[in-house]
Amino acid sequence: MTGRIDLTTDIGTLGRRTLLGAAAATALTRPTRAQAKTQLTMTVWGAQAEQDAFNAIIAKYQAAHPDVAIKLEVFGNGMQLYQQVDTRLAGRQAPDIFRVQYQQIGRYASARAVADMSKFIDKDYGSAFGPAFWNAVSYKGRPYAIPHHTDTFALYYNRDMLAKIGVEAPSSLEKSWSWEEFIRIARAMKEKGGAPYGFAMSWQNAAYRWLPFLYQHGGTLLNADLTRAVLANQAGVGTIGWTQSWFKEGLVPPSTSIKSSEQPQALFANGTIGLLLAGDWQIPFLNGNMTKWGWGVTYMPRDVAMASDLGGNCLTVSRDAKNPEIAADVVKFFCNEENMRDFVVNAQFLPVRKALMAEKLPYKLRPDAMQVFVEQSATIPDHLVSTVTMPNFSKINAVLTDQFDLAFTSGQDPAATAKAIDEQTQALLA
């Protein structure tokens, strides 16, 4: 296969032709049966628990639709999947269905590389999902994927170290620590709790994970209609200065800047840090590796507002799907309430349907911690979602990565950092 569709994929992890007859087209909102054996390819990435969850739901669909066969292709990570999908799109041989991060769906939709899902759903279908997640899969008012699950950030804490400094973790969003309290506790962890460093942030080379702090401080990266960069103001410069102070004061290991390959979850597990800002996907690792200390999860710190990170993935139908109606039916099957519940419980993710977000789900690992993440996921700002799902956000993220790394590792002035980000981002917007 040669050639590539012109789609840029540089967000890290961190963190997925023959039409049926006119009669079938009138019943798009109902399960669609192929007249002959239909072969579909579904391309995903994920750990073994995710693969098992995908295969279990595929087996259910095939049992109900014996005239449809679904082949699951699995890649090691999202970057590998995007490279493969982009190459196959260029050759008009993309998989029928693929998994995609919310931050990436905009570029596929703008290139018309994926199907407009509004052709296959009722007009009020999206009302069953959290607004932030339905917004995340929409481009110019139309959905180009269906939300499948999410993940987000919260605050892990070493239970023993926290008790040693005489502090209790917040028990609700309303009681979450302020920025000032969080820094005071991080200092105490370092000075009295027994940790060489107070905390660390799990960036995973994804600078957009800094944005919740900006929203917490009352700022935004772009203006309301996403046409102008507006970081170089009091809120933006102040947020850069606050996060830069983590490094200047030695509260975080110097090896945990945005471009670092350091694994903060390992530092938390071995007691190097007492607090960890990270996602729910770290629970299986900590459950198996943090054996010397007890640990828990509480809510993100807050300033003038609360905010958290948009993580997770959606499912989409490629423009090359030979039976797009059937492919769309498979996607809807995966994202219905029953199957979404099964997937997130078995693979340790957070649901994106309103009904499930309000339900205490029977997670196999640390349901207490998972419930904190479920509650935290409701604090993702809509404007943040609109920003990180822009078609060219991967290029903006690269600007953020370079400039924040200079601020954190080289002491670049916060005002100069904000100005450089604004100038480079504005050029990309233009």
- What is the block-wise mean pLDDT of the chain (430 residues), using blocks of 10 residues? 42 34 36 68 94 97 97 93 96 97 95 97 96 95 97 97 97 97 98 97 92 98 97 98 98 96 96 97 93 97 96 97 97 98 95 95 94 94 95 94 97 98 97
Task: Measure the CA–CA gap between 137 and 145, rounded to whole angstroms.
Answer: 5
- Residue indicated by tokens 């400094």: 165
Compute the half-sphere exposure of residue 102: CA atoms within 13 Å on the CB side of its CA: 29
Q: What is the pLDDT of residue 204?
A: 82
Q: Which helix (H) or strand (E) holds 406?
A: helix 393-410
- Give pLDDT, residue 37: 87
- The pLDDT score that the predictor gives to residue 11 is 39
Residue ranges of domains in the chain: 22-151+312-359, 153-309+389-429
CATH for 153-309+389-429? 3.40.190.10
Q: What is the pLDDT of residue 13?
A: 36
Which among 313, 351, 395 is positioned nearest to 77, based on CA atoms? Answer: 313
Q: How far apart are CA 88 and CA 241, in angstroms?
A: 44
CA atoms within 13 A on the CB side of 199: 24
Identify the bridge partners of residue 45 per DSSP, sorted by sequence position: 75
Nearest to 169 by CA among 178, 179, 159, 183: 159
DSSP track, 343-367 = HHHHHT-B--BHHHHTS----SS-H
Location of structure tokens 């607090």: 275
Residues in the chain: 430
Backbone angles phi, psi at 5, to 5 degrees: -65, 150
Question: CA-to-CA distance for 405 and 407, rounded, in angstroms?
Answer: 5
**Around Cβ 19, how many Cβ atoms within 10 Å?**
11
What's the CA gap between 235 and 230, in Å, rounded? 10
Distance CA(201)–CA(14), nearest Å, equals: 12
Alpha-carbon dihedral 155, 161, 162, 164, rounded to 10 degrees: -170
Q: Amino acid identity, residue 72?
A: L
Q: What are phi and psi of 158, to 5 degrees?
A: -80, 110
Tokens of 424: 């480079």
What pLDDT shows up at residue 47?
A: 87
pTM value?
Answer: 0.86
pLDDT of residue 7: 52
Maximum distance among all alpha carbons in the chain? Answer: 72
Give buried/exposed letters for 245-272 (b at 16+ CB in 10 A, else e): ebbeeebbbeebbbebebbbbebbbebb
Is the Cα dihedral 62, 64, 66, 68 positive or negative?
Answer: negative
For 118-165, the DSSP string reads: GGSS-TTGGGGB-HHHHHHTEETTEESSEEEEB--EEEEEEHHHHHHT
Q: How many helices (H) and strands (E) does the chain have?
A: 18, 11
Name the architecture of domain 22-151+312-359. Answer: 3-Layer(aba) Sandwich (3.40)
Residue type, position 26, single letter: T
Q: Which pLDDT value is given to residue 18?
A: 30
Fold equal for 22-151+312-359 and 153-309+389-429: yes
CA neighbours within 13 Å on the CB side: how many for 86?
20
> How many other β-carbons are positioned within 10 Å of the β-carbon of residue 426?
14
